[in-house]
Amino acid sequence: MRDFLPEDVRRREYVIGVIQRVYERYGFEPLETPAVENLETLMGKYGEEGNQLIFKILKRGEHEASGQADLALRYDLTVPLARVVAQHQAKLPKLFKRYQIQPVWRADRPARGRFREFYQCDVDALGSTSPVVEAEICTAVSDALVELGFRDFTIRLNHRQLLTSILNVCGIPESLHATALVAVDKLDKIGPDGVKAEMAARGISGESAVKLLEVLERFGKNEPGSRSLLLDAAGIAAFENVGAIVALTDGTSAAGHFRLDPSLARGLSYYTGAIMEISVPDLAGSLGGGGRYDNLVGMFLGQSIPACGFSLGLERILVVMGERGMFPTSLATSPADVMMAVFDAADVPHALRVAGLLRRAGLRVLVYPDAHKIGKQIKYADSLRIPFVAILGGDEIAAGTVTIKDLAAQTQTTYDQAAAGDAVFEGLRQRG
Amino acid sequence: MRDFLPEDVRRREYVIGVIQRVYERYGFEPLETPAVENLETLMGKYGEEGNQLIFKILKRGEHEASGQADLALRYDLTVPLARVVAQHQAKLPKLFKRYQIQPVWRADRPARGRFREFYQCDVDALGSTSPVVEAEICTAVSDALVELGFRDFTIRLNHRQLLTSILNVCGIPESLHATALVAVDKLDKIGPDGVKAEMAARGISGESAVKLLEVLERFGKNEPGSRSLLLDAAGIAAFENVGAIVALTDGTSAAGHFRLDPSLARGLSYYTGAIMEISVPDLAGSLGGGGRYDNLVGMFLGQSIPACGFSLGLERILVVMGERGMFPTSLATSPADVMMAVFDAADVPHALRVAGLLRRAGLRVLVYPDAHKIGKQIKYADSLRIPFVAILGGDEIAAGTVTIKDLAAQTQTTYDQAAAGDAVFEGLRQRG
């Protein structure tokens, strides 16, 4: 887990701000949930591996000595959403669209762009089974990436029922579907031969494995006639659903970015329909992923509510943007626009008064707190890249003026105290 | 711990936005630290009661069965700051001013405005012993409160050394100072007689207790000559320091709000100098507090760095603002400006295209995902207080137009699709 120093925070807030604005434009409303959930709310929702990565909190009070845990740190934003929808159902609209940008915690081994504390930027819509939901979510996420400056992202798209149908076609018994998907999910990483070996190790016949890889390839190429391979109605409906989602995004920022990837499986166990993942060429793993999960709310409510969502990973976006130099140069890199120097301890009340004037004009003003030598104060401002220093000596105080020193240009000008704010703004504008 | 539904989040973000803008204006830079710290970083920093309120996290992996905890949830933002300054010293300026707005967790019993998860909005300046630091911090916090609409707040001000000196004057032995302060701190709650009883229970002589209450009263009234009661140089310096802080804020938003309160003790054990607390008449407890802590960084660094800070409590501010009706009416109360209705599933691509046009014009647009009866769709928009519904039937699609229905006025007008965005903006402006 990491500390974020000022420059890091400004970059994070910039990205969060863009994503938030785009999500709001699509009618998603903000939701926040506590960092801590009941342990039982989280257990069993993320698959076997997920269970092991949950941070558990010791029960408080007299039970502490027993080492028993009753609470846990949030592992994702989807399960808390399902709990909220079940718990506050009466207060929420039937079609509920929410976004949530908060940290989650996983006791995972860290890697590039993977941390134990990381932010997810989620959008979810609950209450409709229409593919319009998937289309709008993919478009919103695409808009956010485009607005951040990404052009080369791919939205890999698949459907859980299509996968099931393909596994059936290849003669893989249903009891082996889950383990087969774990192998299939690694196709990008370990290649067809790796997947074959892994399938063998998982008890899947060589014949089925070969056929599966061939069928996946034909679907992946979107070959005419691949649809006719499917033997069951659910698989055909899934295939058509995926096609409908792509068709609905025609003319949006997501158009042209889709790739049907029948090997995409997604680890989490709660997905029931379309699933998607967004990636860029220069990052292993994804910038985010999502899908439809029509049964998760039902696990809390006892009544199913259809739902679909997508989660953008903030840290991965930041890693790629940093490496590509995608941050706007206008992001603040100094703590202040002006540093108010202090000549003499006795003059501090005047310095604070003029600092107040500059702040009321909208400037960020740092008052140097000690009457150190003026050279030392200016050196400090320079080291922090503060562009202007305001100087208030006896002459200026007597005349109601203030001298503004431009550190880059090495010039200084004296202004009426009331006019200095506008002058500094003009100076900031000229530097861009 | 609570869920924040959309209206709650918008109010929280409004208050955080105001506080953040004001802090930036004073040259404070943003810092963020992880929710989780090493347990040993936190233990022993908050006094005996504090230790017991820390949420502990089970050690991961094979040790989990032992029930041993090695991590803990952040308890405040000050101790993590001290750790950061020690850890990243080389990367930080000698005078480091930071703000931090993040949640903290305490295993406390909930009360009005007191929760187990709550946000603190902290400003701290490290690297100077000048009272300018205290004055600027008090002014920044006052500016934030004034900008939120508070007029009637009191900044209670005291100094740890002044307290020590007063206890000495009253003949209370140093070994009883800590326990005496716990009693003194309750003066507001339990009155002079309560404090006398509590002092007796804590082994302080009746004579000392009576004298202490009398001295506190004389200082509290700022009686001429109260200074001469102090017997040691440290106490006199503390008294003058407090006076200097008040004098430096003359002409700022903090002026007129100070009250010297020699009974203010503040619970946390790390304070060494001036201490302050802000309160309003209609809330027991405080809206925030702070003070100088010149030795805390040294506990991590082995080298003292002078420091002073203040923490505003977000939840308490929200409680009072809610009860007083202080939130601006302009805060969004609906998820969208326009709802795009869907007449016919076949027309959805057109609806999404026009929704895109309206979004690019800057509007928040919610697309109804299902081709339900139009009356049902409009009812839904109305229930969410979405002011406008966009309708796109066969005629509109053929003509390149869109009909905008104003739900409050019960009127509808047909516009060219490209002009509809401006029309809705004009409608929003007219409603204010």
Per-residue pLDDT reduced to its tens digit, B164-176: 999 999 999 999 9
Mean pLDDT over A242-247 rounds to 95
- Name the minimum distance, in Å, from the CA of A418 to any CA of chain B: 16
The answer to whether the CB of B264 falls within 8 A of the CB of B277 is yes
Nearest residue of A to residue B81 by CA position? A3
What mean pLDDT value characterizes chain B? 93
Q: What is the pLDDT at residue A111? A: 79
| pLDDT band at residue A198 under the 50/70/90 scheme | very high
- Contact flag A132-B363 (C-beta cutoff 8 Å): no
Which of B352, B368, B424 has the most A C-beta neighbours within 10 Å, making it the best mutation to test the interface with A? B352
> Closest Cα of chain A to B215: distance in Å?
31
DSSP codes of every residue in B165-197: HHHHHTT--GGGHHHHHHHHTTHHHHHHHHHHH
Q: Are strands B307-313 and B288-292 parallel, antiparallel or unpaired?
A: antiparallel
pLDDT, average across residues B133-156:
97
What is the DSSP code string of A229-240? G--SHHHHHHHH
Task: Find the mean pLDDT for residues B241-249.
Answer: 95
Put simply, the answer to whether B58 touches A60 (Cβ < 8 Å) is: no
Residues B298-350 have pLDDT tens digits of 999 888 999 999 999 999 999 999 999 999 988 878 999 999 999 898 999 99
Instruction: Please report the pLDDT score of residue B139 as a whole number.
Output: 97
Torsion of CA B200, B203, B207, B210, to 10 degrees: -50
User: Quick one: pLDDT at residue B28?
Assistant: 97
Q: In whole angstroms, give the CA distance from residue B43 to residue B83.
A: 13
Task: Give the residue from chain B lying closest to A350, CA to CA.
Answer: B248
- pLDDT score of B248 more than 70: yes
Give the neighbor-by-neighbor strand order of the sheet with A36-38. Answer: A36-38, A69-73, A56-58, B56-58, B69-73, B36-38
Nearest Cβ partner for B27 among A26, A336, A356: A336
Are B72 and B54 in contact, with CB atoms under 8 Å apart? yes
* pLDDT on residue A231: 80
| B35 vs A24, A29, A35: nearest CB | A35
A42, A75 in Cβ contact below 8 A?
yes
Which residue in B71, B47, B48 sits closest to B58, CA to CA? B71
pLDDT of residue A52: 87
Q: How confident is the model at residue A64 (pLDDT cuts 50, 70, 90)?
A: low
Write down the number of H helices and E strands in chain B.
16, 16
State whether B349 and A383 contact (CB < 8 Å).
no
**B335 with A97: Cβ contact below 8 A:** yes
- List for chain B the helix, strand, coil content (%; round to 5): 45, 20, 35
Say whether pLDDT at B229 is over 90: no
CATH of domain B338-431: 3.40.50.800
B37 bridge partner residues: B72
Nearest in space to B61 (alpha carbons), one of B75, B71, B74, B53: B71
**A6/B12 CB distance under 8 A:** no
- Closest by Cβ to A6, choosing from B30, B247, B248: B30
Q: Specify the pLDDT at position B219.
A: 83
Q: What pLDDT score was predicted for residue B329?
A: 86
Residues of chain A contacting residue B368, judged by C-beta atoms under 8 Å apart:
95
How far apart (Å, rounded) are the C-alpha atoms in residues A281 and A192? 20
Nearest to B133 by CA among B248, B240, B234, B30: B248
CB atoms within 10 A of CB B177: 14
| Structure confidence at residue B59 (pLDDT) | 86
The answer for residues whose C-beta is within 8 angstroms of residue A68's C-beta and 6 or more apart is: A58, A59, B67
Which of A2, A5, A34 minimises the CB distance to B91? Answer: A5
Select from B3, B64, B132 the Cβ nearest to the Cβ of A367.
Answer: B132
Given a contact cutoff of 8 angstroms between Cβ atoms, the answer to whether B215 and B294 are in contact is no
Candidates A28, A33, A36, A59: best to mutate against B (most CBs of B within 10 A) is A36
Residues on chain A touching B33 (C-beta within 8 angstroms): 3-4
Spell out the domain ranges in chain A: 6-324, 338-431
Tell if the CB–CB gap between A107 and B60 is shorter than 8 Å. Answer: yes
What band does A73 get if pLDDT is binned at 50, 70 and 90?
very high
Q: Which pLDDT value is given to residue A113?
A: 72
- Lowest pLDDT segment from A10-19, A52-61, A196-205, B75-84: A52-61
Check residue A92 and give its pLDDT: 94
Q: What is the pLDDT of residue A62?
A: 63
Could you tell me which residues come within 8 angstroms of residue B414 by beta carbon, excluding any fewer than 6 positions away? B396, B401, B402, B403, B404
C-alpha span between A258 and A278 (Å, rounded): 9
- Which of A117, A339, A342 shows the shortest C-beta gap to B34? A117
Chain B nearest CA to A1, separation (Å): 6
Question: Searching chain A, which residue's CA lies closest to the CA of residue B91?
Answer: A5
Average the pLDDT over B187-197 and give the result.
90
Residue B267 has pLDDT above 80, yes or no: no
Tokens representing A271 are 């997905």
pLDDT given at position A432: 67
From chain B, pick out residues whose CB is under 8 angstroms from the CB of A41.
none
Closest CA to B272 of B186, B187, B176, B158: B158
Report pLDDT for B326: 96
Q: Percentage of chain B with pLDDT > 70?
A: 99
Cβ atoms A220, A158 nearer than 8 A: no
Q: Would you call A57 and B58 a contact, using CB atoms and an 8 Å cutoff? A: yes
Handedness of CA A180, A182, A188, A189 (dihedral sign): negative
Task: Kindly tell me if the per-residue pLDDT of B242 is higher than 70.
Answer: yes
* Chain A residues with beta carbon closer than 8 angstroms to that of B97: 335, 366
Nearest chain A residue to B4 by CA distance is A32
Mutate to test the interface with A, among B88, B89, B359 (most CBs of A within 10 A): B359
Predicted TM-score (pTM) of this structure: 0.93
pLDDT of residue A146: 98
CB-closest option in A27, A65, A136 to B335 = A27
Segment B287-311, tens digit of pLDDT: 999 999 999 999 998 889 999 999 9
Number of CB pairs < 8 Å for A and B?
A: 238
Which of B88, B95, B119, B246 should one mutate to test binding to chain A, selecting the residue with the greatest count of A CBs within 10 A?
A: B95
The span from the CA of A279 to the CA of A293, in Å, is: 21
Residue B195 to residue B170: CA distance in whole angstroms: 15
Q: Which of these ranges, A115-129, A322-336, B6-20, has the smallest mean pLDDT? A: A322-336
pLDDT, position B62? 63
Tens of pLDDT, residues B105-122: 999 887 777 799 999 999
Q: What percent of chain A has pLDDT over 70?
A: 99
More confident residue, A61 or B154: B154
- Render the burial of B103-115: b for 16+ CB within 10 Å, e for the rest: bbbbbeeeeebeb
Inter-chain CB proximity A95 and B380 less than 8 Å: yes
Position A63 confidence tier, pLDDT thresholds 50, 70, 90? low
Bridge-based pairing of strands A36-38 and A69-73 is antiparallel
Residue of B nearest to A64 (CA): B67
> Any long-range contacts for A64-69 (C-beta under 8 Å, 24+ apart)?
A64/B56, A65/B67, A66/B67, A67/B58, A67/B65, A67/B66, A67/B67, A67/B68, A68/B67, A69/A39, A69/B58
Picking from A318, A352, A383 by the largest number of B CB atoms within 10 A of its own CB, the best residue to mutate is: A352
The answer to whether the CB atoms of B3 and A33 lie below 8 A apart is yes
B10 neighbourhood in chain A, CB within 8 Å: 30
ipTM of this complex prediction, to 2 decimal places:
0.92
Cross-chain residue pair B342–A132, CB shorter than 8 Å: yes
Closest CA to B237 of B186, B319, B292: B292
**Pairwise CB contact (< 8 Å): B34 & A356:** no
**Residue contact B247–A67, C-beta within 8 A:** no
| Residue to test with chain B: of A15, A32, A38, most B Cβ within 10 A | A32
**Is the Cβ pair B251, A352 closer than 8 Å?**
yes
CA nearest to B181, candidates B43, B52, B275, B246: B275
Among partner residues A3, A64, A94, which is closest to B84 by beta-carbon distance? A3
| DSSP one-letter string for B247-301 | HHTTTSTTTT-EEE-TT---S-TT--SEEEEEE-TTSSS-SEEEEE-SSHHHHHH
Residues B202-214 have pLDDT tens digits of: 999 999 999 999 9
Residue A229 confidence class, pLDDT cut points 50, 70, 90: confident
pLDDT-derived band at B179 (thresholds 50, 70, 90) equals confident
Average pLDDT, chain A: 93
Backbone angles phi, psi at A247, to 5 degrees: -60, -40
Main-chain phi, psi angles of B296, to 5 degrees: -65, -45
Q: Which fold has domain B6-324?
A: BirA Bifunctional Protein; domain 2 (3.30.930)
Mind telling me how many Å the CA of A138 is from chain B's nearest CA?
12
Q: Which residues of A touch B376 (CB under 8 A)?
A: none
Span B4-62, pLDDT tens digits: 999 999 999 999 999 999 999 999 999 999 999 999 999 988 877 788 899 999 987 76
| Per-residue confidence (pLDDT) for residue A415, from 0 to 100 | 97
How close is the nearest chain B Cα to the Cα of A76, in Å?
15
User: Each residue of B46-101: pLDDT tens digit?
Assistant: 877 788 899 999 987 766 677 788 999 999 999 999 999 999 999 999 999 999 99
What is the C-alpha separation between B399 and B200, in angstroms, rounded? Answer: 88
Find the range with the poorest average confidence among A80-89, A182-191, B355-364.
Answer: A182-191
